[in-house]
Structure 1
Amino acid sequence: MVVQKLSLHKNISMKELAIAMPKMGESVMEATIIKWLKKEGDEIAEAESILEVATDKVDSEIPAPYTGKLKKILVQVGQVVAVGAPIAIFEVEDTTLLGNGQSISQSKIASQALPATKSFASSDSRPVKHTVQLHERTACPLYDTAGRFYSPLVRYIAQKESLSLEEMENIPGTGKDNRVTKQDLLTYLAHRRSTQRSSSYSNLTIESIQQYAKPGDEIIPMDRVRKIIAERMVAAMHTVPHVTSFVEADVTELVAWREKNKLAFKQKTGIGLTYTPLFVKAVAQAIQKFPLINVSVVGEYIIKRKAINIGLAVALPDGNLIVPVVKNADQLTLSELAICIHKLVHNARHGQLLPDDIADGTYTISNIGSFQNLMGTPIIMQPQVAILAVGSIVKKPAVIETAQGEQITIRHQMYLSHTYDHRVVDGALGGQFAKAVADYLEKFDFAKES
């Protein structure tokens, strides 16, 4: 369970603070209230947890920022609350905690958090480019991750229609500075309704679906994480035209190098040498060669990312999936990559990831080879534009060129399945990138990494 420290907003009187939903990762824009650990009127000590929240990435406990009283709860269990929106009124006795002590108009809540705001569990203190100022019960922020403004009317319609931030970011705007107008949104909704199949399944209960079950069948409700995964996968397929290119790589020399060096590597680092850091290394090098793979799409704009942050799809014991991110992968040595990946995977499988561990990914790798799969067609994690599935390494007969001519020999081969967003990545770029990854794996710089 991750602990996040609250951001604070001045509110109403000099003895009252409006507690806001804290920021929990760059791409997390909302959280669901799971449980209030305290009730109205309770006296609470500083850093004592007062509620639990869940995002699509991690669950967190929210601690009290100061000693005081929980005067009023503003949101109830089950509500989805946007980052920055007030969730409770907190009363403190020491008015000096409010900063400069100036009186505040009852009609305003300041949009800036106190400078003391800091995560207990994470050292991430990166500045936010655009202040996300929200109103209670509003799921759509004033600005999206690219800084595009949404008017109150547009936000109201978006909330009413249950549009996600990812959907909003992909709606082309015809207003000033690419803003989404009311007509833009209504046009999108009309198209959305016409392309979605009508279904009443979302309103079904366990009792009502008994008619679909046969004797001996077990009815299993989706948990919260599985529902979110399902929604995002459907949204991705609805928004992005997926295309997949396949390349076969001869990794015979890579396999031999790993076998030769894995014992010394473990003695040096304390962890085993898997193929994953080698895959990440090759992908990072390929991105440097083809930087237009390392982009995001927001509406009709392409954001070319400077940082190369590679996400790794990790299967969890409960059957769900999470994608921790290796930050600045191109700047890490093979040993540093292996240590970083080992820690991320361990924390993922033990529920110990921090919000920052799953934020800011620019490209994703899915190691389907760990399940003995040869190839696949993975779904892109929006707003990224590509994902690579690495297949199982198998021994196969292959024709190779030698000084004596062509010979058939046993080689270690694997398939790379590269899925990309055809809106911005053409077949040439998508295919060349996959081939570049294969080339780096086949011609790995062993001298540099030994």
Structure 2
Amino acid sequence: MAQQEKISPQALSRVPGTGKDNRVTKYDLLAYLQHRSEVDTPLQPAVAYMPIAPEDEVIQLDRMRQIIAERMVASKHIAPHVTSFVEADVTNLVQWRNQHKEDFEQKAGAKLTYTLLFLQAIVRAIKDFPMINAFVAADRIIKKKAINIGLAVALPGGNLIVPVIKHADQLSLVELAQKVQTLVHKARHQQLVPDELAEATYTVSNLGSFQNLMGTPIILQPQVAILALGAIVKKPAVVAGAQGDTIAIRHQMYLSHSYDHRVIDGALGGGFVKQVADYLEVLVDWVRW
């Protein structure tokens, strides 16, 4: 095959082999030829060919990683992504959680995490902006009545899985805590059943658990939006008061909302994430156990 395609011995020696004992396979040659074709095609930027050195490690993608890769690439091709960012002052939320977390854990048998409060605020905002809770089917938009929240969970091996909280709007904070605790435990022990991974209408990813401030999450098809939650950090901020503005140390976080611009414009996508932030800032006015 190398002779037929006129690959010189020098070029062949630079082709990384993925076969046994690093032998070059037919698929390695096809990948090289595809790369060479792309480089030779006019009006396309040349991509540096990266040879595999003897000391390099070749890691085969496992099946889960392959599925994630395929779905993420497909989503970027299907949906023109736009991401809106909002900074929220969650000082009241932090204080409320610190005040109630011990009593809550005794009642619920689960910890009062920030994620639970975020989820309740998101569900409330979805009710205010129901077009966020939708998917695209050909030339139609299907607005879903059920609010099923997918919660991205990082797995010990480095992969990601998204169990689904069905009818999240019908759960109290205690019920939500118990459901999330169960799903996360099952996810990390490979015990989820297919129904617990299906029918999500909106997805949430908590980047704050990795101390990330913000991100640009990729939509899980066929949903039309996804929200990334950044880390809560203490920083100086302007606080408006009756006597004028002051500078104070506050708990702040960023919300990053990616949405499908085919069906969601900035007014809707940006308005939704601002509503989530508003709910988080006035948590004590609406949160109920």
- 1:269, CA displacement in angstroms? 1.3
Would you say 1:267 and 2:106 are equivalent positions?
Answer: yes
Structure 1: any 5+ residue segments left out of the alignment?
Answer: 1-200
- The 4+ residue runs of structure 1 with deviation greater than 4 A are 203-206
The aligned runs of 1:88-103 (5 Å cut-off) are none
Matched, 1:370 2:193: no
Q: CA shift at 1:217, angstroms?
A: 1.4
How many pairs align? 249
Q: Which amino acid aligns with 1:246?
A: F
Partner-residue secondary structure (3-state), 2:70: helix
Q: Are residues 1:429 and 2:268 paired?
A: yes
1:287-333 Cα offsets, whole Å, 9 max, x none, are 00000000000111110101000000011111111100111111111
For 2:154, the equivalent position in structure 1 comes to 315
The answer to whether the 8 A contact 2:110-2:178 is kept is: yes
CA–CA distance in 2 between the matches of 1:253 and 1:233?
36
**What residue in structure 2 maps to residue 224 of structure 1?**
63
Q: Residue in 2 aligned with 1:397? A: 236
CA contact (8 A) 1:257 1:446 kept: no
C-alpha contact 1:311 1:323 (8 A) present in aligned 2: yes
Partners of 2:134 and 2:287 lie apart in 1 by 29
**The one of 142, 150, 160 aligned to 1:303:** 142
Aligned counterpart in structure 1 of residue 85 of structure 2, from 230, 241, 246: 246
On the 8 A contact 2:235/2:250 being kept in 1, the answer is: yes
- For the 8 Å contact 1:255–1:412, the answer to whether it is kept is yes
Please tell me whether residue 212 in structure 1 is matched to residue 51 in structure 2.
Answer: yes
Q: Deviations over 1:365-385 (max 9, x none)?
A: 000010000000000000000
Task: Provide TM-score, normalisation by structure 2.
Answer: 0.83
Distance (Å, rounded) in 1 between the aligned partners of 2:243 and 2:58: 63
The whole-number CA distance in structure 1 between the counterparts of 2:23 and 2:224 is 41
Residue pair 2:148, 2:164 contacting (<8 A) in 1 also: yes
Provide the rounded CA distance (Å) in 2 between the counterparts of 1:391 and 1:351: 26
Report which of the two structures shows the higher radius of gyration computed on alpha carbons: 1
CA-based RMSD: 1.8
For residues 348-375 of structure 1, what are the alpha-carbon distances to aligned partners after superposition, in whole Å with 9 as ceiling and x for unaligned? 0000101111111000000001000000
Equivalence for 2:288: 449
Quote the residue 2:37 is aligned against. Answer: none
For 1:204 and 1:215, locate their aligned partners in 2 and report how far apart those are by CA, in whole Å: 12
Correspondence 1:2-401 to 2 at 5 A: 205=19, 207-208=23-24, 212-401=51-240
**Contact conserved, 1:364 with 1:388, CA < 8 A, in 2?**
yes
User: How far apart are 1:267 and its partner, in Å?
Assistant: 1.0
> Secondary structure, in 3 states, of the residue corresponding to 2:283?
coil
Q: Evaluate the alpha carbon distance shift between residue 422 and residue 294 of structure 1 in structure 2; reply closer, same or farther with a 3 A threshold.
A: same
- Which segment is superposed worse, 213-222 or 302-311? 213-222
Shift in alpha-carbon separation, 1:222–1:276, aligned structure 2, 3 A:
same
Q: Which residue of the other structure, out of 393, 404, 407, is the alignment partner of 2:246? A: 407
Corresponding residue SS for 2:280: helix
CA contact (8 A) 1:247 1:435 kept: yes
Larger RCO of the pair (alpha carbons < 8 Å, separation 6+): 2
The C-alpha deviation readout for 1:84-143, integer Å capped at 9, x for no partner, is: xxxxxxxxxxxxxxxxxxxxxxxxxxxxxxxxxxxxxxxxxxxxxxxxxxxxxxxxxxxx
C-alpha distance in 2 between matches for 1:324 and 1:204 = 34
**Equivalent position amino acid for 1:425 in 2:** I
Return the letter of the residue paired with 1:337.
Answer: L
Letter of the 1:233 partner, please give it.
M
Work out the CA distance in 2 between the residues paired with 1:279 and 1:343. 18
Instruction: Note the residue ranges of structure 2 that are not aligned, 5 or more in a row.
Output: 1-14, 29-49
Q: Which amino acid aligns with 1:302?
A: I
**1:216 Cα shift?**
2.0
The answer (yes or no) to whether the contact 1:367–1:391 under 8 Å persists in 2 is yes
Alpha carbons 2:83, 2:259 under 8 Å: kept: yes
Look up the match of 1:149: none
- SS in structure 2 opposite 1:214? coil
What TM-score results when the alignment is normalised by the length of structure 1? 0.54
